[in-house]
Amino acid sequence: MSLTHFDETGAARMVDVAAKPVTQRTAVAEATVRCQPATLDLILAGDGKKGDVRQVARIAGIQAAKNTGSLIPLCHPLPLDGVTVDFTSQPPDRLTVTAAVTCTGRTGVEMEALCAASVAALTVYDMVKAVDRGMTIEAVRLLRKTGGRSGDWRRPADGGAADQS
């Protein structure tokens, strides 16, 4: 078993995708922030005059998706078609960021979705760290993807090795 990101001598490379067809691609990823219950209340109270952590984090996530080609060394720069970043809460102590990315291109957008979810979650951390420095971002993971030669993929419902948390 070998990794396509390296050639036979072990040199890293940005894999040549010139021969791959241009197809529609989608990917959805999530990141969960675990925090103190009072912190979650504070985040969810953000609709009013207190300022909404989620709106700032959403913009950071969208920008990160577009910036993936420079964040992740062997990723291809891609002209993304769309990015959404949404939040759901699992009281008393979890906030989940879900990022969805679409593209018409020669390679998938899993990394774009994962970067968007991660950076949105890090931005949440940044904005509330003064009151809850011990917050953890957990379960940054791909939920599903469509398009491309490797076809569609969906995270198994039972979790599997990477899904037990």
**For residues 137 and 61, is the Cβ–Cβ distance under 8 A?**
no
Does the annotation flag 42 for ligand binding? no
> Rounded to an integer, what distance in angstroms lies between the CA atom of residue 32 and that of residue 98?
9
Does the annotation flag 30 for ligand binding? no
Taking the complex as a whole, the smallest distance from the CB of residue 138 to a second copy amounts, in Å, to 5
Q: What angle do CA 75, 151, 18 make, to 5 degrees?
A: 45
Taking the complex as a whole, the smallest distance from the CB of residue 60 to a second copy amounts, in Å, to 5
Choice between 5 and 90, CB closer to a second copy: 5
**For residues 121 and 96, is the Cβ–Cβ distance under 8 A?**
no
Taking the complex as a whole, the smallest distance from the CB of residue 9 to a second copy amounts, in Å, to 6
| Whether 132 is catalytic | no
Main-chain dihedrals φ then ψ at residue 81, nearest 5 degrees: -90, -35
Does the annotation flag 112 for ligand binding? yes
> Rounded to an integer, what distance in angstroms lies between the CA atom of residue 155 and that of residue 147?
15
Taking the complex as a whole, the smallest distance from the CB of residue 83 to a second copy amounts, in Å, to 4
Choice between 90 and 138, CB closer to a second copy: 138
> Rounded to an integer, what distance in angstroms lies between the CA atom of residue 127 and that of residue 80?
27
Choice between 7 and 90, CB closer to a second copy: 7
Catalytic residue among 7, 126, 152, 163: 126
Does the annotation flag 5 for ligand binding? no
Q: What is the greatest pairwise CA distance in the chain?
A: 58
Binding positions for substrate are 74-76, 111-112
Q: Which residues are annotated as a binding site?
A: 74-76, 111-112
Query: Catalytic amino acids?
Result: 126
